[in-house]
Structure 1
Amino acid sequence: MGTQTGHYTSPFRRLLQSCLLLAGLCLCPTLGSAEEALRPAFYKNAPAFRSAFSRVVADVNTSVVRVISDERQRALGTIVDASGYILTKASELRGDIEVELRNGKTYAADLVGIEEDYDLAMLKITADNLSAVSWAAEETIEAGQWFVSPGMDDSPSSIGVVSVPLRKLPPARGILGIGIENTPDGTTQITTIYPNSGAERAGLRVGDVVSRVAGKSIRSADALATEIGSHRPGEIIDLEVTRNEKSLTIRARLGQAEPRMLFDRQRFQNRMGGKLSRRRTGFPTVIQHDSVLDPQECGGPVLDISGNVIGLNIARAGRIESYSVPASIVLSLLDDLKSGKLRPETPDEQLVSEKADPIDDVK
């Protein structure tokens, strides 16, 4: 399983240059209605344009799989070991998981590890002699560089350009979607349940008194807010509450807070480009590029123009913003993910529920 090298030389580059020249001519506003009609065919993600990059992904296509749960494609996966290990995006998964290979065969998949910092999940299927991906030994990533994302077809699923070679994304704070206050008797009481929030979905009610969160004692409203904010969006936490003199344990999934002043405009602009990944923040180091990916297309490899696998797509974060984990980081995590020591104790609790769209949990 050797490292891929750049082998797409002058003929391919001339073909690509010709496509780009033709695209530029067709986008010229002075050429009339015929050229106007051709514009969509040469958009960066149009089939005619993507097909020009088919040779780039030819050697990697068989290493890409479709990850299915609840009878829907949730992500792509990347075969990282010929004995049946497949890397994918963790937070899009839920329930029973299946993997469909490029030849159409489907296998039940076991979730053997989750790496939370990078939202990676390792799956294992009962198969061998699979076509495992070969990661680039060195990454040379520069702004303006082409990024090519293979999918389940001969043509790439998306073409993009690097915006920021490496960047850190601070973790987002989780929110529950409640208003709270301190009571005269020294307890912390819920005063408001915000619509479409994790609190509402979990069944919390106005008047509930919160005594513990995630196993920690709560003695004030500030302590409750601090504890909830220390968890990530998408995490499930247990709350011990008192309701009508009865003690209850309620399990809730946290949403994601965003700046209120920018929320409406940011949400509108980002949603113009399609759906976003549920987990799209809090990655220690990622490559930012402008490839147009659907959330269910994350988890697959990303290549440079020479066909070298230089990362793994991990999130669609905005209209022109997608993130990839660099190959060097992926390689450093593979052994632990395959070992079983990162296996979740209760897999379903690690996976994001279908209704829990963090952007809708903002107060």
Structure 2
Amino acid sequence: MKTKLSLLSAALLTASLSLYPAVSQAAIPQAVEGQAVPSLAPMLERTTPAVVSVAVSGTQVSKQRVPDVFRYFFGPNAPQEQVQERPFRGLGSGVIIDAAKGYIVTNNHVINGADDIQIGLHDGREIKAKLIGADKESDIALLQIDAKNLTEINQTDSDNIRVGDFAVAIGNPFGLGQTVTSGIVSALGRSGLGIEMLENFIQTDAAINSGNSGGALVNLNGELIGINTAIVAPNGGNVGIGFAIPANMVHNLVDQIIEHGEVRRGVLGVSGRDLDNELAKAFGLDTQHGGFVNEVMPKSAADKAGLKAGDIIVSINGRSIKSFQELRAKVATMGAGAKVEFGIIRDGDKKTIKATLGEADKVEAEAGNVHPMLQGATLEDSKKGIEITEIAQGSPAAMSGLQEGDLIVGLNRTKISSLKALKEALEDKQSSVALKILRDNNLLYLVLR
């Protein structure tokens, strides 16, 4: 079928050429009626060097429960689970946001679990990258490379974009190499998709496919308006519905990672729901956009600022919001300590309330309360495991080989993801145990007696 189509095209082309005189390349007009022929090429020549390919490799660990019949055959000491390790490789995209420092933004899901991250630059260079920090809930990661003659992307205020604005996606789909597609901004403030924990997406019909994750969504000036993240793909390919994380959210998250090495999530201290048609009618409102506050937590940032249950939050720092999910995503990515101005409707009247965001609670424990050989270390729950945040010199924990920055990810053959689980698991252990540690992306075991 492909051959027939190709031959038909060739026949039609020959017939059409016979009807008109030959036109040389030089005779192709550079302007129509005095106006230059529009082209994205000049903008892309400036912008595409700032978009890179990201190749990752690592080992995926999977666990399967050992069938009861085998455990019965091998006795009480038989393992409860069978651990399998399989190598994996992946491809994605990234965006250079700081040429001097070599900072590159990509999606967390592109580099998650990777032991090796290689950056492919526009000029053909391949350079190993270091992971500076990541945030799983917003799906953003910050990498760094040591290289000269880099090009960084220009950034803009993504809150100023409108539905209908032209958008251009740049990335590395299917590992083909750098590819550019264009479209428009189809929608703003998309949430409730179940893609990420924090959702406030720009929707676009610019073609985005597998491998575009972490790439750039830019405006016609070549300025970054979003990081391409996900698509709706019933058949595995592009259907014109792609999603990007707004550049302002990315900027807030990256600033926190650079300053603190992590995202210090902002907390307002309210629970609520989207303002829908029924609520709007019940409160006599002529708008259906905003976040309805069901409850204000005592002593929270919202409580201190004077927010009340029944308030409807309609804007953040003068920018309107569509839903409670958008409110949640914007607040969480602004960072603890941020000063925020909320526009609200209370009893039909519009008001402005200023609040200073609190910080999400962190679970910390003096490790000596968990196990005597951990005395001298401070443990903290994190997304990847239990982190050793501090360790006293000469303490039992230091003598056992633990180091600051270590992540406890398992006990013997059991995966451990929280302090509570670790403490419960150690309560029943009378003999030596082996802690599974992740240190500088390497796994090792430390025996506690």
TM-score when normalising by structure 2? 0.39
Q: Flag the structure with larger Rg.
A: 2
Higher-RCO chain (CA-CA 8 Å, sequence separation at least 6)? 1
The answer to which structure has the higher strand fraction is 2
TM-score when normalising by structure 1? 0.47
